[in-house]
Structure 1
Amino acid sequence: MASRPFSSSKRARQLLSMVLPGIFLLGFNIGTGSVTTMAKAGADYGMSLLWALLLSCCCTFFMINLYGRFTLVTGQTALQAFKQHIHPWVSLFFIFALGVGVCGSVMGVMGIVADICYRWSLVWTDEGIHPVWFALFFITLVYVIFWRGNTRFFERFLAIVVAIMSACFLLIAFLLLPTPESIVSGLIPRLPSISAYSAESPLLVTASLIGTTVFSGLFIIRTTLVKEAGWTLAHYANQRNDAAFSVVLMFVISASIMAASAGTLHIAGTPLINAAQMIELLEPLAGQFAVSLFATGLVAAGVSSQFPNVLMLPWLICDYSGIPRDMTLMKFRLLVFGVSLLGLVVPIFNARPVLVMIVSQALNAVILPLTVVCILYLSNCKSLMGQYRLNTLQNLILIAILLFSIFTAYLGLSGVWQMLMPT
């Protein structure tokens, strides 16, 4: 009888260790950018783009599972395979593109989180607390945990933050839930009519929604996590279930954010420009409790994405070089420190990092099609995959994802061109 609590505790730890890689991906994917995109989709078009979110999550699961399966079969991570079987420059391009994206994301995430906390503090104090202090606090928190922890510690801390984020967004969605009819109707694929109070077309919002969910960095990092977990083909079910867990939770959280916005801002006909704006817009519509929930969830989303952001570049360098991921080395601590400091750019200078954001968007537009092409080639390579090569249906699905990624790349590059050459 006395062994039962120990046995239950052991099983709980085993279950947690099985889903930690998926939680890491979830924290990486659900950041302030995703929250803003989902909130805007809900504010402008209600639940009518729920089908696009579902489709993007299905594509994400397919790609995560495919990249994870490749590592199970070959024992190689994505960057190692690109370097050895395609060309070293391909791996270097991914490191550069994802590195630039991380720099832009760190600036944006901390800028939004600091702004959210500042606006939230205005509820409690007349003048509020300056955004710089909030940015310094969260940058320090993440860096101290990075300095003292190891990979497993990062993942467990991330699990706590993701749990807080999930609880907040699910609860606020429950409080502000739109009608069941609109939810069911939103699962029918169609483009909604142009919103009267949105400058973006529904096609562009749809592409943005899918683009922020189907993220190349997830697939590249996934192979590293699978290899570090020591999984082999015998663990294929674990790998698939872990991927399914992260994607299902990704859909539920994203849909909750969309529902909260649809149930308030869309009904009131209130336009949305950024996530921080929801702090001011939600209070008269939903009350202070809902505002506090949303602010807490958004801060948790920012912190959960900050961890993978600052870790990505050193992890990619280790992966490419074939060296252990020892984050206690001074060169990596200095690299993470430099990347973390970028989070102060927006709060201190009150400016948008235009150049970095432009380059980041341009590279992100190119990287997804290349990510699909690379796994399409590698997964059909007989010398690598043997009997585990893709079948006809899997190839057709992957080609469909490739065609759509090319279309979203066109939209992304068009948006960059408009930023460079405003009319």
Structure 2
Amino acid sequence: MEEKKYVAEESASVQPAKLKSKSKFAILGPGIVLAATGVGAGDLVTAIVAGADFGISLAWAVFIGVFFKYILTEGVGRWTLATGQTILEGWRSLGMWTMGYFFVYVTLFGLIYGAAIATACGLIMYTMFPIMPLWAWAVLHSVAGFALIWFGRYKIFERVITVLIGIMFVAVVGSAIVILPSLGAIPSEALVPRIPDGSIYRILGIVGGVGGTMALAAYGYWIREKEWNDKSWIPVMRLDASIAYIITGLFTVSMMIIGTHFLYGSGIAFSGSEGLKDFLGLYGQNFGTTAKFALNIGFWAAAFSSLIGSWSGIPYLFADFVRVVKRKGEDKGNQSNPVSEKDPAYRAFLAWLTFPSLLLLIFNKPVSLVLLYAALGSAFLPFLAITLLLLLNSKEKVMPDYRNKWGHNATLVFIILVFIVLGVIEFL
């Protein structure tokens, strides 16, 4: 009888969404936001350095990484749409230990990430226009992101980030397409998929870094802003998330191709402002000043879109955390958005991302900030995978059709093992 009840509820809710989703591509948007947020300065540096050291022989690691992130994102979206509850409500149902872990993590992450991504944006802009110090460019980007999210709305934010990812995609993927025919001159060991000696750390870095970290959990809030409110939207959500990680994979492999062409065997170290200048100098010698500027703009678009995406998404998680902790008793969840950009807790965490983190810039250690951020990121993904494994196998919380299948469970277990190893390496 219980099974029949589930089927009746499902059939009643599917019909309206089917009418609304006739043109699926016309309604996509959260995936674009997810791709723009997940593809940032970390992916840029990791891909270029991997290309410089090992060519495109590690491109297979990119595909594994985006597949892992898709599985995690699809799990978050499926939980949100199938149950009507946010991922924070799901975590709370597993016990207060999840709330404690999340609070400590998001507080540290907000502080470190706020400084790291602002520094990355400032570094790229400083390379183009060294008219003021790097720290000043970093402050400007952080405050600009704060103003956009504080005074804007989701629809405006989505349009801005769509423009940025378009610039990024055209500049970076376009450059890779131009370069592709010339890769024939590169030694074959740099082109054939393999596991080169000394590449394990780099492989784990690619798999762990590509596609973002906390943006995966924030995806559930962006789909609510898009008014995808029930389980009938799950096929659209899966298409949306797939497009997000196709874009992410193309961008990362394109950067690997560019790094291979210009840096493989050159001995140039890609780190800091001087490494970026040298790299762009080589690019400009081959393709001219205009092409060099266009590629730099593409780099900047990748970094700044990641900044504003995080400024939009992570405060949702914190505001929902405050709501869930304050709530007394258990409710069934509902189809309305539990938090908004006007929520005091949302705005408080937006300010936390923006202003206290700027104090870290006085230490002038951008590389250390990025490494610390990477270590923190590797600690969140096993937590997300473990909790999704528990939530999406629950007979009490999820209807049979939307629970994990054996393939989901096997992949999540493998993700947990990979990211635990990555986390140990990062922290060591």
| TM score, norm. by length of structure 1 | 0.82
Residue from 101, 116, 123 that aligns with 1:93: 101
Letter aligned with residue 83 of structure 1? R
CA distance in 2 between partners of 1:261 and 1:218 (Å): 26
Letter aligned with residue 183 of structure 2? T
SS of the residue 2:129 aligns to: helix
Residue from 254, 261, 264 that aligns with 1:263: 261
SS of the residue 1:76 aligns to: coil
- Post-superposition Cα deviations, 1:329-385, rounded to whole Å, max 9, x if no partner, equal 56644542342235644655534495x767645543332212111111111111112
CA distance in 1 between partners of 2:191 and 2:392 (Å): 32
Query: Post-superposition shift, 1:189?
Result: 5.0
SS of the residue 2:29 aligns to: helix
The equivalent residue for 1:418 is: none
Residue 296 (structure 1) aligned with residue 297 (structure 2)? yes
SS of the residue 1:129 aligns to: coil
The equivalent residue for 2:398 is: 385
The equivalent residue for 2:207 is: 210
The equivalent residue for 2:308 is: 307
The equivalent residue for 1:419 is: none
- Post-superposition Cα deviations, 1:26-53, rounded to whole Å, max 9, x if no partner, equal 1210111111111111111110110000
- Change in Cα spacing, 1:203 to 1:42, as seen in structure 2 (3 Å) is same
SS of the residue 1:383 aligns to: coil
CA distance in 2 between partners of 1:148 and 1:183 (Å): 52
Letter aligned with residue 371 of structure 1? L
CA distance in 2 between partners of 1:353 and 1:248 (Å): 28
- Change in Cα spacing, 1:357 to 1:133, as seen in structure 2 (3 Å) is closer
- Change in Cα spacing, 1:359 to 1:37, as seen in structure 2 (3 Å) is closer
Letter aligned with residue 365 of structure 1? S
The equivalent residue for 1:232 is: 230
The equivalent residue for 2:65 is: 56
8 Å contact from structure 1 (residues 362, 412) kept in 2: yes
Equivalent pairs counted in the alignment come to 390
The equivalent residue for 1:374 is: 387
- Change in Cα spacing, 1:399 to 1:164, as seen in structure 2 (3 Å) is same
CA distance in 2 between partners of 1:342 and 1:167 (Å): 35
- Change in Cα spacing, 1:15 to 1:258, as seen in structure 2 (3 Å) is same
SS of the residue 1:373 aligns to: helix
Pairs within 5 Å for 1:19-418: 19-84=28-93, 86-121=94-129, 128-177=131-180, 179=183, 189-193=193-197, 201-213=198-210, 215-228=212-225, 229-274=227-272, 277-285=275-283, 286=286, 287-320=288-321, 321=323, 324-329=338-343, 332-342=346-356, 344-345=358-359, 349-352=363-366, 360-388=373-401, 389-414=403-428
Query: Post-superposition shift, 1:275?
Result: 7.1
8 Å contact from structure 1 (residues 29, 218) kept in 2: yes
Gaps of 5+ in 1: 1-10, 123-127, 194-200, 415-423
Letter aligned with residue 94 of structure 1? F
CA distance in 1 between partners of 2:278 and 2:384 (Å): 39
Query: Post-superposition shift, 1:219?
Result: 2.7
8 Å contact from structure 1 (residues 99, 313) kept in 2: no
- Change in Cα spacing, 1:71 to 1:189, as seen in structure 2 (3 Å) is farther
After TM superposition, the structure 1 stretch with the greater mean CA deviation from structure 2, 91-100 or 256-265, is 91-100
CA distance in 1 between partners of 2:116 and 2:65 (Å): 23
Gaps of 5+ in 2: 1-19, 325-336
CA distance in 2 between partners of 1:358 and 1:136 (Å): 20
SS of the residue 1:138 aligns to: helix
- Post-superposition Cα deviations, 1:289-334, rounded to whole Å, max 9, x if no partner, equal 3431221112111210111222344211222215843323566445
Letter aligned with residue 245 of structure 1? I
8 Å contact from structure 2 (residues 319, 343) kept in 1: no
SS of the residue 1:365 aligns to: helix
8 Å contact from structure 1 (residues 75, 227) kept in 2: no
Letter aligned with residue 170 of structure 2? A
8 Å contact from structure 1 (residues 28, 304) kept in 2: yes
Letter aligned with residue 61 of structure 2? A
8 Å contact from structure 1 (residues 224, 319) kept in 2: no
Letter aligned with residue 232 of structure 1? D
Letter aligned with residue 288 of structure 1? T
After TM superposition, the structure 1 stretch with the greater mean CA deviation from structure 2, 248-257 or 176-185, is 176-185
